[in-house]
């Protein structure tokens, strides 16, 4: 991702906007997870109820440090073995660092440390995790092209970050619960 596009995306995030960006497998919608108005707007765009919760994507473990505090050494090792990568973990949030509008009705937080260079650059430049949800209305197939993102959302997305999808488009992605160390679901 070139510097100009990265700066534009970060500016939009810091100003409460919603962006679309390529991820490992599909195009994503993102916003600042700590901005309730931005999250509410993203949920309206997707037509997704808040109680379902959202995923946070980060560039590295340091960006989600408050969520690691409640994990033991074995759990941290398991995270390190699967990240960066396409695995989403459900992590406890004992300090309530992540707002309810991101967690939904869940006590845990869905988190992924991405291996997509553009996503990592975005999170690094933003200075923390970003909401990551597939770029599609909740009843439609996830967008696999910038053109499909435009078809779904038109000018209702504040910025579409140019780029390519990563190599995970054909691989299943799993959600693993850190509390039970079991697969919660495929997503």
**Domains of the chain, residue spans:** 3-186
Picking from 136, 126, 128, the residue whose alpha carbon sits closest to that of residue 111 is 128
Indicate the CATH number for domain 3-186.
Answer: 3.90.870.10
- pLDDT tens for residues 78-96? 999 999 998 999 999 989 9
The pTM (predicted TM-score) of the whole model is 0.91
- pLDDT tens for residues 124-154? 999 999 999 999 999 999 999 999 999 999 9
Is 60 exceeded by the pLDDT of residue 5?
yes
């Amino acid at each position: 991702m070139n510097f100009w596009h990265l700066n534009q995306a970060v500016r939009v995030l810091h100003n409460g906007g919603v962006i679309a960006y390529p991820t490992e497998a599909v195009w994503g919608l993102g916003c600042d997870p700590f901005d309730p108005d931005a999250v509410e707007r993203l949920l309206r765009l997707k037509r997704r109820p808040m109680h379902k919760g959202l995923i946070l994507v980060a560039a590295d473990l340091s960006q989600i440090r408050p969520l690691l505090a409640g994990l033991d050494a074995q759990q941290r090792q398991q995270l390190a073995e699967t990240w960066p990568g396409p695995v989403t973990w459900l992590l406890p949030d004992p300090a309530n660092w992540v707002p309810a509008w991101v967690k939904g009705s869940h006590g845990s937080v869905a988190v992924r440390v991405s291996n997509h260079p553009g996503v990592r650059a975005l999170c690094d430049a933003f200075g923390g995790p970003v909401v990551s949800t597939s770029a599609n209305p909740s009843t439609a197939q996830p967008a696999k092209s910038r053109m499909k993102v435009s078809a779904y959302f038109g000018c209702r997305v504040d910025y579409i970050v140019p780029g390519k999808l990563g190599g995970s488009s054909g691989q299943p992605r799993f959600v693993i619960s850190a509390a039970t160390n079991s697969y919660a679901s495929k997503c």
